[in-house]
Amino acid sequence: MKFLHTADLHLGKIVSGVSMLAEQEYILTQITQIAEEEQVDALILAGDLYDRAVPPADAVKVLNDILVKWNVELGIPIFAISGNHDSAERLAFGSQWYESSKLYMKGKCTSQFDGIPFMDAEVWLVPYHEPAIIRQAFADNSIRSFEDAMQAVTKQIRSKWDTSKAQILVGHAFVSGGIPSDSERQLAIGNVDRVSTDCFDGFTYTALGHLHHPHAIRHPSIFYSGSPLKYSFSEANDHKSVRIVELEGKELISVTERFLTPKHDMRIISGTLAELTENLVENPDDFFQVNLMDEGALIDPMGKLRQFYPNILHLERKKQTLKETQDSFEEIMKKDDLELFGQFFEHVNGTELTETQKQKLADVFEQARKEDAE
Amino acid sequence: MKFLHTADLHLGKIVSGVSMLAEQEYILTQITQIAEEEQVDALILAGDLYDRAVPPADAVKVLNDILVKWNVELGIPIFAISGNHDSAERLAFGSQWYESSKLYMKGKCTSQFDGIPFMDAEVWLVPYHEPAIIRQAFADNSIRSFEDAMQAVTKQIRSKWDTSKAQILVGHAFVSGGIPSDSERQLAIGNVDRVSTDCFDGFTYTALGHLHHPHAIRHPSIFYSGSPLKYSFSEANDHKSVRIVELEGKELISVTERFLTPKHDMRIISGTLAELTENLVENPDDFFQVNLMDEGALIDPMGKLRQFYPNILHLERKKQTLKETQDSFEEIMKKDDLELFGQFFEHVNGTELTETQKQKLADVFEQARKEDAE
């Protein structure tokens, strides 16, 4: 059995005001080609099909069209779940009809997880869920964390699975130790959204969504496919892919990356305004973050750059190298207003306050304190 | 062949700040009972399944659940189209899968209308469409009005239909001469949104949605089912129903109204505050418009009434019978400020300005004019 694992399509996503929909259609066509070439037996979509709970109508059309292509026209079974960006209810609409053609779309977690028998395997769909959802569904008040919830779910699954078969879990979660990028939405403050890898002990292959780096974790049977496109400049150095997973009977025999080539790459380039406008970099219509290395004032650098690089998404000006003083809370509390402001000024401008500036600032603070006291 | 015709569910509708969803679930259960009792061969939903393009998630769930009930559990074929309140794209999602269980959901008009063979009939689904949609789809620049568009659509249908079969059209449109209520959204300014009855010449039964009165037009083969619930007080005197339609071979043999009883009726009651709070009307938890007949000031009448009638949606104070002087624009222009205000005062209060009031008002106008001149 051979399947293709992808996730985090984020259809309808807008990056720096620019719709990614045309890029997404382009990459979906590439995924179709790979699925056909590889003659996969199934496709896995591990959540975040849309970028938001109420996606724009044209994103709805793109998802419908690609699912028709894969499932109806090419006859490929699909296992799909909702991610934290999707609306579980909206994605669940119609799922009762899809099953007849082996499109398994699970939007909402319920109290019962049932395996879907497929070739030599059982497939378990575990949509994104906050702990409260599982606490309520399982009527178990001891479930407080994401870890508790996933442990409870997989414990139930283990109590039901057929050990003579390969066990595939499709999930959408943040596994401890995983490397996030800037384009996932945080699930919780701090690290309480993490689940440990041992939640997935015993599964032949765990097909995850949520983290966008294709190698967000290293584990022999737990994989993020990564998003098929870069959605932030923190992913500029990623090479996006889909995973082709092969099983023989109940054994996992290979996990291959099939690389994707976007219509427009997302890249970071650096140089002075003169350098970048005199010697164009390759593929100047890619999506760029431009780090301008010029010092001092520039007149309309964005306007000048856009003539050559029409798809600049972000412009950064050179920063002086800063003293790497990460003050502790206690150290910060010891400093007075003037010192703190001085530090902020230096962080933003790259230069220290002059004596005149310091004096003026001291006057302002003095004045403010007086008014406060009155 | 026997089918049930309904339309204008408007799931998720909010009337005067109150969600109708529980009422809608209640009435859908009643429609299910009727469908079962009548052992219908099909259900027709002639548009406006939702109240808005992006319905709330709980309305999405209600529609999914009732379609599962009707189509999957009871095995009743369904013919449904989008209305002007629905998003054609969103409603079309998944429709390719629904067809395998005879749920025919058409969200968008295309260049081709195809009949769906069903028992002794062909069913033609014609979703709501603005003229521009058909003008573009048919690549025919002469299509300018709603009438042109519907004529073009039905002309194409007539060129393809099998005259040995009954012909059923499911549409969502405003037929000339139809009686609107306050709860439909206008399709256009003036009367340009109307289509004539002869658009539907030759059809055995035309199942329409849009107008909410169950007898919005009188015609031997063109019917609005009306909405299953009252959505405005202009419908207070309606008796809502669904239509049970019987055909024998290609002949229409009966059109029956099966009446619906809402969980809470929508009614208009009149009386003084004392009358209404001392002698409660029947079913005091219905949705009420209360016309208060008291003269003069009342302290918190809504608060007092709500103790007895928890679901008041609208309160009106008695109006004196007014002189029916509908002044023409020219006549209004001749009047001075004092006369105009006097007329407004009379309209609101039911009494004329006293001489003292007139004098005070004249002073105010004089003062305002002086300040303007300065």
A100 and A193 together in one domain: yes
What residues of chain A lie within 8 A of the CB of B71, using their CB?
Answer: 97
Domain containing B173 — which CATH number? 3.60.21.10
- Running DSSP on this structure, what letter comes out for residue A52? S
What residues of chain A lie within 8 A of the CB of B96, using their CB?
Answer: 64, 68, 72
Burial of A233 (0-12, 13-18, 19+ CB in 10 A): buried
Q: What is the 3-state secondary structure (H, E, C) of B114-183?
A: CCEEECCEEEEEECCCCHHHHHHHCCCCCCCCHHHHHHHHHHHHHHHCCCCCEEEEEEECEECCCCCCCC
Predicted confidence (pLDDT) per residue in A207-266, tens digit: 999 999 999 999 999 999 999 999 999 999 999 999 999 999 999 999 999 999 999 999
Are A103 and B97 within 8 A, CB to CB? yes
B23 and B69 together in one domain: yes
Which one has a higher pLDDT value, A366 or B20? B20
Choosing from A225, A257, A289, the residue where a domain stops is: A257
Tell me, yes or no, if B344 comes closer than 8 A to chain A by beta carbon.
no
The residue among B63, B65, B97, B110 with the most chain A CBs within 10 A of its CB, best to mutate, is: B97
Residue among B142, B169, B166, B141 at smallest CA distance from B154 = B169
Tell me, yes or no, if B272 comes closer than 8 A to chain A by beta carbon.
no
B351 assigned to some structural domain: yes
Cross-strand partners of B317: B292
A114 assigned to some structural domain: yes
Tell me, yes or no, if A221 comes closer than 8 A to chain B by beta carbon.
no
Torsion angles phi and psi, residue B330, rounded to 5 = -65, -40
B320 assigned to some structural domain: no
Are A93 and B58 within 8 A, CB to CB? no
B210 and B347 together in one domain: no
Tell me, yes or no, if A39 comes closer than 8 A to chain B by beta carbon.
no
B205 and B118 together in one domain: yes
Are A94 and B94 within 8 A, CB to CB? yes
Of all residues in chain A, the one with the smallest CA distance to B68 is A96
Count of CB contacts below 8 A, A vs B? Answer: 61
pLDDT at A116 over 50: yes
Mean pLDDT of A309-319: 89
pLDDT at A324 over 60: no
Are B93 and A58 within 8 A, CB to CB? no
If residue B57 lies in a helix (H) or strand (E), which one and from where to where? helix B57-67
Are B94 and A98 within 8 A, CB to CB? yes
Q: Among B64, B71, B103, whose Cβ lies nearest the Cβ of A93? A: B64
How much of chain A is helix, strand and coil, in % rounded to 5?
35, 25, 45
B136 and B154 together in one domain: yes
Choosing from A295, A315, A335, the residue where a domain stops is: A315
Distance CA A294, CA A12 (A): 35
pLDDT at B351 over 90: no
Are B72 and A97 within 8 A, CB to CB? yes
pLDDT at A347 over 50: yes
Q: What percentage of chain A carries pLDDT values higher than 70? A: 95
Burial of A321 (0-12, 13-18, 19+ CB in 10 A): exposed
A104 and A192 together in one domain: yes
Predicted confidence (pLDDT) per residue in A129-183, tens digit: 999 999 999 999 999 999 999 999 999 999 999 999 999 999 999 999 888 888 8
Predicted confidence (pLDDT) per residue in B103-138, tens digit: 999 999 989 999 999 999 999 999 999 999 999 999
Predicted confidence (pLDDT) per residue in B251-306, tens digit: 999 999 999 999 999 999 999 999 999 989 999 999 999 999 998 888 999 999 99
A354 and A286 together in one domain: no
Tell me, yes or no, if A373 comes closer than 8 A to chain B by beta carbon.
no
Distance CA B128, CA A220 (A): 54
pLDDT on residue A161: 96
From the CA of B166, how many Å to the nearest CA of chain A? Answer: 28
What residues of chain B lie within 8 A of the CB of A53, using their CB?
Answer: 57
B81 and B161 together in one domain: yes
A227 assigned to some structural domain: yes
pLDDT at B325 over 90: no
pLDDT at A191 over 60: yes
Quote the number of domains for chain B: 3
Are A97 and B98 within 8 A, CB to CB? yes
Q: Among B60, B63, B90, whose Cβ lies nearest the Cβ of A60? A: B90
Q: Is B17 within 8 Å of B27 (Cβ atoms)?
A: no
A75 and A149 together in one domain: yes
pLDDT at A18 over 70: yes
pLDDT on residue A349: 77
Residue B155 one-letter amino acid: K
Domain containing A290 — which CATH number? 3.30.160
pLDDT at A128 over 90: yes
pLDDT on residue A322: 47
| Residue B180 falls in which region: left (phi positive, over 0), alpha (psi -120 to 50) or beta | beta
What residues of chain B lie within 8 A of the CB of A98, using their CB?
Answer: 94, 97
From the CA of B207, how many Å to the nearest CA of chain A? Answer: 24
The residue among A97, A100, A104, A110 with the most chain B CBs within 10 A of its CB, best to mutate, is: A97
Distance of CA A145 to the CA centre of its chain: 21
Predicted confidence (pLDDT) per residue in B90-99, tens digit: 999 999 999 9
Are B100 and A100 within 8 A, CB to CB? yes
pLDDT on residue B319: 63
Q: Among B58, B89, B97, whose Cβ lies nearest the Cβ of A97? A: B97
Q: Is A230 within 8 Å of A263 (Cβ atoms)?
A: no
Are B93 and A60 within 8 A, CB to CB? yes
Query: How many CA atoms does the CB half-sphere of B80 hold within 13 Å?
Result: 28
B109 and B224 together in one domain: yes
A2 and A107 together in one domain: yes
Are A60 and B103 within 8 A, CB to CB? no
A5 assigned to some structural domain: yes
Q: What is the ipTM of this complex?
A: 0.75
Are A57 and B98 within 8 A, CB to CB? no
pLDDT band at B335 (very low <50, low <70, confident <90, very high): confident
B191 and B171 together in one domain: yes
Distance CA A187, CA B198 (A): 58
Burial of A19 (0-12, 13-18, 19+ CB in 10 A): middle
Predicted confidence (pLDDT) per residue in A50-71, tens digit: 999 999 999 999 999 999 999 9
pLDDT band at B3 (very low <50, low <70, confident <90, very high): very high
From the CA of A64, how many Å to the nearest CA of chain B? Answer: 6
Domain that holds residue B284: 264-315
pLDDT at B76 over 80: yes
pLDDT band at B336 (very low <50, low <70, confident <90, very high): confident
Choosing from B212, B231, B257, the residue where a domain stops is: B257
pLDDT on residue B322: 47
What residues of chain B lie within 8 A of the CB of A103, using their CB?
Answer: 97
Q: 130-149 in A: which are within 8 Å (CB) of B?
A: none
How much of chain B is helix, strand and coil, in % rounded to 5?
35, 25, 45
pLDDT band at A330 (very low <50, low <70, confident <90, very high): low
A322 assigned to some structural domain: no
pLDDT at A288 over 80: yes
A57 assigned to some structural domain: yes
pLDDT on residue A368: 82
Q: What is the rounded average pLDDT for all residues in chain A?
A: 92
Which one has a higher pLDDT value, A73 or B323? A73
What residues of chain B lie within 8 A of the CB of A54, using their CB?
Answer: 54
B72 assigned to some structural domain: yes
Q: Among B60, B87, B101, whose Cβ lies nearest the Cβ of A100? A: B101
Are B94 and A64 within 8 A, CB to CB? yes
pLDDT at A198 over 90: yes
If residue A91 lies in a helix (H) or strand (E), which one and from where to where? helix A88-92
